[in-house]
Structure 1
Amino acid sequence: MACLGVFDSGLGGLTVVREIQRLLPSLPLIYIGDSLHAPYGSRSEDEICQLSLAQAEFLLAQGCTALVIACNTATAAAAKTLREHFPLVPIIGMEPAVKPAAAATKSGIVGVLATVGTLQSARFAALLDRFAAEITVLTRSCPGWVEAVEAGAFETPETVSLLQREVEPLLAAGADTLVLGCTHFPALRPTLQALVGPEVTLIDTGVAVACRVAEQVAASREDAGSLTLFTSGTPTVFSHSARAILGVEWLPMALPLVWKDGRLENA
């Protein structure tokens, strides 16, 4: 039976899980939200690689047959390493949606909202070289956005102020398309769309990743579908925000994990 493992630095990857469940409702999913170390964007590449390897090992030990790195920063830092360590396991990563944004923009100006780790990565530079030659790409590193999502503060006045600070310079420069280049950011989409107006297009890669999963993982029609949540953070806080992101009234409580000697263990 196929089982998909998904991990991210906290809650953000659940925006990807949401799209996978819409497309493959019968696919069993196991999710790790490493809230203890969120956000990954300010951490070194070596540290992100070690965190990612430990989460991949834990998920494979739970019986997962494929993995999604539901984090742009972790994909940039660790995807190559994970594929070298687990050559027989399908591993699907994330990257900012520069290509569809380039196709969508009418003004020729695109804003990319992401973490420092993503924006400074060689992977992002390669995306710009491949798909952004004929457009102008402006970037913002969005400090505080991940923390707002982790706290479940999706539409507080403080969060609106954080969003305004980053998007207003992009809009003033003529950007008509904004890329949500961190998996946490789609959780802020309703607030962000209300702020920028309907004429500005918001793009993320959750649907594209779900389609990629459908290509590589065969979900049986006989499976009932399930979602098991693990977190290195506080299970009650994590579960409350997870329900909001997934749009459900009830979820089983997230199971606690602890880091011990660089490995993940059940608490």
Structure 2
Amino acid sequence: MLTGPSTVPFQPLHMQADLSGRVLVLDSGVGGLSVQREIKRAVPEAGLLYLADRAAFPYGDWEGAALRDHICDLVKSVSAVWQPSAVVVACNTASTLVLTALREFLPVPVIGTVPAIKPAAEQTRSGVFAVLATPGTVKRDYTQDLIDDFASQHHIALVGASGLAGLAEDKLAGRGVDLEHLRREIAPCFTEEDGKRTDCVVLGCTHFPFLREEMEQVAPWQVTWIDPAPAIAKRLVQVVERGDVATGCDDLFFLTG
């Protein structure tokens, strides 16, 4: 276990086992488990290392440059010990900042998680959809570039929800979900434009799929919820050589802090 968000070098509890060749999945908390779940469906034999950077949770509250430097330091030290076959940044906020920097020093594939704006633009029938993400993801130039490239003719509500990641953490910890709080957080997603209304909501944070059932309960009307996790797993399969990935071993889970 790490002692803090900038601990370097990383020392994994004096473990003697060979950890090399597993796929490293990184998030600030439990949200990346939605991506880990899809990776296991796509490549069930692959060994995974899941790192929840709890000492730095939530990433959405960080200033951009500081978060980029923190994640790069963390991944650099972790990779030196674990020697992963690939790194999956299972967080939209982090991915909008760190992918280029990580690819500059890592010798293995780096797969990011970005808002599924292109799929939403392809699936919407009304031309009105929402991107539900953390405030950090909503304000990034990366997100606006995706809109300009793939959805410039659509009406898009960019909704920065500051409390949903915490609600997802609560749910997975068995503490229940405050449905009224959830209702308030997602309400700005549901808009009407020229008689047409939101028909798709992009889940722009890997925590959010764990709240899908509750969001369906409190939504004012039915929409398509777009989860990017299956596409991330598919991309991993495309870019990683199967022979480089450790197989036949247990998945391991670590926390910082």
Same fold per superposition (TM over 0.5) = yes
2:101 aligns to what SS in structure 1? helix
Residue 20 of structure 1 corresponds to which residue in structure 2? 39
1:194 maps to which of 202, 217, 221: 217
Q: Deviations over 1:55-100 (max 9, x none)?
A: 31243221212101111111111111111122x2211111100011
CA shift in 2, pair 1:141/1:125, >3 Å: same
Is 1:98 aligned to 2:92, yes or no? no
Is 1:224 aligned to 2:251, yes or no? no
Deviates more, 1:19-28 or 1:167-176: 167-176
- In 2, the alpha carbon distance for the partners of 1:210 and 1:59 equals 22
Residue 238 of structure 1 corresponds to which residue in structure 2? none
- In 2, the alpha carbon distance for the partners of 1:47 and 1:171 equals 33
Is 1:63 aligned to 2:83, yes or no? yes
Residue 83 of structure 1 corresponds to which residue in structure 2? 103
Q: Tell me the CA shift for residue 36 of structure 1.
A: 1.8
* Contact 2:159-2:188 within 8 A present in 1 as well: no
Letter in structure 2 aligned against 1:56? V
2:248 aligns to what SS in structure 1? coil
Q: Tell me the CA shift for residue 155 of structure 1.
A: 8.3
Q: Deviations over 1:197-224 (max 9, x none)?
A: 7831000210000001101223359922
Residue 209 of structure 1 corresponds to which residue in structure 2? 232
Q: Tell me the CA shift for residue 186 of structure 1.
A: 0.8
- In 2, the alpha carbon distance for the partners of 1:227 and 1:212 equals 20
CA shift in 2, pair 1:127/1:222, >3 Å: closer
Gap runs ≥5 in structure 1: 233-257, 259-267
Q: Tell me the CA shift for residue 190 of structure 1.
A: 1.5
- In 1, the alpha carbon distance for the partners of 2:66 and 2:105 equals 16
Alignment of 1:1-267 (within 5 A): 2-60=21-79, 61-86=81-106, 88-152=107-171, 156=176, 158=178, 160-173=179-192, 174-196=197-219, 199-219=222-242, 223-232=247-256, 258=257
Gap runs ≥5 in structure 2: 1-19
- In 2, the alpha carbon distance for the partners of 1:32 and 1:166 equals 27
User: Once the two structures are aligned, what percentage of the paired residues are identical?
Assistant: 34
Letter in structure 1 aligned against 2:102? L
Letter in structure 2 aligned against 1:170? C
Letter in structure 1 aligned against 2:82? Q
- In 1, the alpha carbon distance for the partners of 2:101 and 2:247 equals 31
- In 2, the alpha carbon distance for the partners of 1:222 and 1:2 equals 5
Q: Tell me the CA shift for residue 140 of structure 1.
A: 1.1
* Contact 2:29-2:53 within 8 A present in 1 as well: yes
CA shift in 2, pair 1:126/1:222, >3 Å: closer
- In 1, the alpha carbon distance for the partners of 2:198 and 2:182 equals 15
CA shift in 2, pair 1:116/1:169, >3 Å: closer
Aligned residues: 231
* Contact 1:76-1:123 within 8 A present in 2 as well: yes
2:251 aligns to what SS in structure 1? strand
CA shift in 2, pair 1:224/1:118, >3 Å: same
Deviates more, 1:192-201 or 1:28-37: 192-201
* Contact 1:70-1:93 within 8 A present in 2 as well: yes
Question: What TM-score comes out, normalization by structure 2 length?
Answer: 0.83
Q: CA RMSD for the aligned pairs?
A: 2.1
* Contact 2:161-2:186 within 8 A present in 1 as well: no
* Contact 1:30-1:59 within 8 A present in 2 as well: no
